[in-house]
Structure 1
Amino acid sequence: MGSNGTPLLPKRPQSLGVTIWEGDDSAFHPEIDPDEDVLSDCDEKSRAPRYEGRLLRETPLHICNSAWKLPKVPVTYHKYGSRSTVLSWYGQLCGAVRQWVVEAGFEDLALLQTRSFDMSLAQALAERWWPTTHTYHLPMGEMTITPLCYFLYTGLSFGGEAVVGHPGGWTFDDQELMRLLGSIPSESYTAVQWFYREWDEKMVTDSSSREELDQQARCFILYLLGNTLFSTSRMTIHISMVWYLKDLLRVKKFDWVGVGYAHMLRMLDSLAMRGTELVDGT
């Protein structure tokens, strides 16, 4: 209640335009106009104080600082992951193995083709991405990659049983790996290329044994995941992921796109905070 007995109305919330605020602290930043709804991009350096103490934290570590320094120094990004090699191997698979990929729901992802890599665009987007909000802060407002966008991009639906790094009950058993993959990787974090090399010289046709067809299908799916949804700079994938492929009829029941979406956001955070200069390639 006010001094005259009238109820106090809540203060108008700050604009959510380009900057997201935790609260009204304009008293601590008198240079900030609480009624300003649009921030100009004419002077990037003048925007820096607005980020301090708010949801846009750790500004000094953010790659956007490179945009405030003149002359602007471009970041040299390095690509990892290769959808073109995935597409090439998929085209070599026999019909029976391809059918397993279709049944698992990964056909659209295997056939995905991307455009050539634009390093300048990658840097511009990284400078505008903020980890605490998982949004791009653009002159016209905020934008993000929604689950719907990710579904349209990958062809995979959200929902299903959770995919975790080390599923319960998993043990690194050589005999089981030989049965499921046809070979035994030497490392728990297995190089993605290993799955391709193991089958490069083998002739697998529709008349091959059911066990051999299943083994190649599992290796291709792990190769696909390691190059796309789970791609990292090390280009490895943990062998425990084969646990989810034991029964190829149940592969589609797992939430692959959910964990892939979370992984993508994490990698975007790392780019923005200069934790890496490696980006998923084509």
Structure 2
Amino acid sequence: MDLPVGVCQIIDKAGFGLFCVGLSCLITSRFLLGTLVEKWWDTTNSFHFSTVEDMTMTPYDFSMLTDIEVRGRPIPYDTDIGEWEAAWIYLLGTRPPLFRLGTVWYNWFADHFRETQPKTLEEIEQHTRGFQMFLFGTTLFADRVNTVGLYLLSALVDLSQVRHYDWGGVGLATLYNYMSLTSHRSGNRAGGYWRA
């Protein structure tokens, strides 16, 4: 998604600029991902390799690979914001269509904001929030139904504060969670108990 200059500047100040650049250059290898999943032990949140024993991705490793630090203030969640239509309109400039109470398909953000060109500071901030919701839904808060919770908007009210929240901690926890879920589906049950 090509972003307007004003939006890019806010994204950079929020600490997500290099993360977004890295995502746009990412080439995935299904074979490599499959191999890593097979080596994942969910009981220790680590990879088990026969030659070097256990290895895991530490918060430092995650920060070095993503350029998102694992530190900062807790992310403010407002679980009631899913019911506050006036807040959505103020923060996003429109009312997103709900999938379930308080969640929106993350593709809606890409489709809606791709077709708009922000002109005022308020529109630039709304566009930035829309992009960040799309980014969160596809990476740090990814789920299996491709939605993102509107409760995250409470962390985006003041865009100058976004960089002070612990996005890296959430990203690392999401990574651990999905590695464990995927390893269960591939037959790698309970940290290697079913290994041959």
Identify the TM-score tier after normalising by the shorter chain.
Answer: 0.7 to 0.9
Aligned to 1:131: 42
- Pairing of 1:211-226 with structure 2 (within 5 A): 211-226=122-137
Other-structure match for 2:7: 97
Match of 1:54 in 2: none
**Which of 92, 97, 103 lines up with 1:189 in the alignment?**
103
| Residue 157 (str. 1) matches residue 69 (str. 2) | yes
Aligned to 1:172: 83
> How many pairs are equivalent?
182
Deviations 1:186-236, CA, capped at 9 Å, x for gaps: 2121111111111222223xxx11111110010011111112212222111
Once superposed, what is the RMSD of the aligned Cα atoms? 1.9
C-alpha distance in structure 1 between counterparts of 2:19 and 2:81, whole Å: 27
Structure 1 residue 185: Cα displacement? 1.6
Larger proportion of helix: 2
**Measured at CA, do residues 120 and 186 of structure 1 come closer, stay the same or move farther in structure 2, by a change above 3 Å?**
same
1:107 pairs, out of 17, 26, 42, with: 17
User: Using the alignment, how far apart are the partners of 1:115 and 1:197 within structure 2?
Assistant: 21
How far did 1:154 drift?
A: 1.2
CA contact (8 A) 1:172 1:240 kept: no
1:147 aligns to 2:39 (yes or no): no
Conserved 8 A contact 1:190-1:237: yes
Q: How does 1:1-282 map to 2 (within 5 A)?
A: 89=1, 92-113=2-23, 114-140=25-51, 141-163=53-75, 166-167=77-78, 170=81, 172-187=83-98, 188-204=102-118, 208-274=119-185
**TM-aligned CA deviation for residue 118 of structure 1:** 2.4
Q: Quick one: percent identity of the two aligned structures?
A: 27
Partner Cα distance (1:178, 1:275) in 2? 42
How far 1:142 moved relative to its partner?
1.1
SS at match of 2:160: coil
Three-state SS of the structure 2 residue aligned to 1:190 is: strand
The runs of at least 4 consecutive aligned structure 1 residues that moved more than 6 Å come to none
Deviation at 1:115, TM superposition (A): 4.5
Larger Rg: 1
- Kept in 1, the 8 Å contact 2:63–2:70? The answer is yes
Amino acid at match of 1:196: A
Q: Quick one: structure 1 residues 211 and 95, their matched pair in 2 at CA, closer, same or farther if it must change by over 3 Å?
A: same
Is the partner of 1:156 in helix, strand or coil?
A: coil
